Amino acid sequence: MSRQTRVFQIGFNKCGTSSLHNFFLGNGIPSVHWQSGELAVRIHARMRQGEDPVLDYPGITAFTDMIHLTHQVLIEPYKAIDILYRWHPDAYYVLNTRNCSDWVESRVRHGMVARYQSVFALPDEAAVRRHWIREWYEHHARILGFFASRPGRLLVYDLDRDQPEKLAGFLPADWNLDPALFGHDNRTARPDCREAGV
């Protein structure tokens, strides 16, 4: 197992992944973000081969937006928390989150509906929205359950409520992170998902 300190963002995309990535880079922390889906593809391939998921990134500390989505395939290795943790039990894991309905609307605005319809054979946008909301709560519950017996390794970072100092305080003190370097993407206020009847 690698002894290099790693940070894995394990929340959904459209939840401040770019802000996290830029925060790390601004503080001099080597970080890799999305790579047009290549990041997820390469990590997933290593997982399938039973190898260190980030073997292809020896100089990288932080990993954000690990998703690859087309009309034919969806790859999300950040959800394979058991594999990531097996290889990197000393890593720092950040469950980035925000208001669920804001997140759904952001995904709709970013043109993700048609691809999810295709991958999961869903009939319309309403079905995609319901799928996302179920996925949202299931993923959060799974991550919280996994780390319940692993204290100190998980930070739940709510972009709507938490300040960057919380993120900086969770990570190693000797990194000397500057909270002021954390920026926020524009978000549109929407009702909570629980008001959508799901």
Structure-token pair, residue 19: 């802000």
d(CA 70, CA 117): 11
Q: CATH number for the domain including 147? A: 3.40.50.300
Q: What is the pLDDT of residue 4?
A: 86
Average pLDDT over residues 48-75: 98
- Whether 190 maps to a domain, the answer reads no
Looking at residues 51-57, what average pLDDT do you find? Answer: 98
Q: Which residue has the tokens 């299931």?
A: 138
For residue 25, is it left (φ>0), alpha (ψ between -120 and 50) or beta?
A: alpha
Mean pLDDT of 102-113: 97
- Given this model, what pLDDT does residue 184 score? 72
If one compares 188 and 58, the residue with the highest pLDDT of the two is: 58
The confidence score (pLDDT) of residue 195 equals: 35
Number of domains in the chain: 1
pTM: 0.92
Averaged pLDDT, 78-96:
98
CB–CB of 184/15 below 8 Å?
no
Tens of pLDDT, residue by residue over 119-174, are 999 999 999 999 999 999 999 999 999 999 999 999 999 999 999 999 999 999 99
Contacts of 151 (CB under 8 A, 6+ apart): none
Report the alpha-carbon distance of residue 103 to residue 147 in Å, rounded. Answer: 23
Is 186 part of any domain?
A: no
23-42 tens-digit pLDDT: 999 999 999 999 999 999 99
Tokens for 184?
Answer: 């926020």
The domain of 124 spans 7-172
Contacts within 8 Å (CB) and 24+ apart, 122-129: 129/104, 129/196
Phi and psi at residue 119, to the nearest 5°: -65, -40
Of 44 and 192, more confident: 44
pLDDT bin (cut points 50, 70, 90) of residue 188 is very low
Residue 117 is assigned to a structural domain of this protein: yes
Q: What is the pLDDT of residue 3?
A: 60
Is pLDDT above 50 for 1? Answer: no
Residue 197 located in a structural domain: no
In a domain, 18, yes or no: yes
178 inside domain? no
Per-residue model confidence (pLDDT) at position 73: 98
**Does the pLDDT of residue 196 top 80, yes or no?**
no
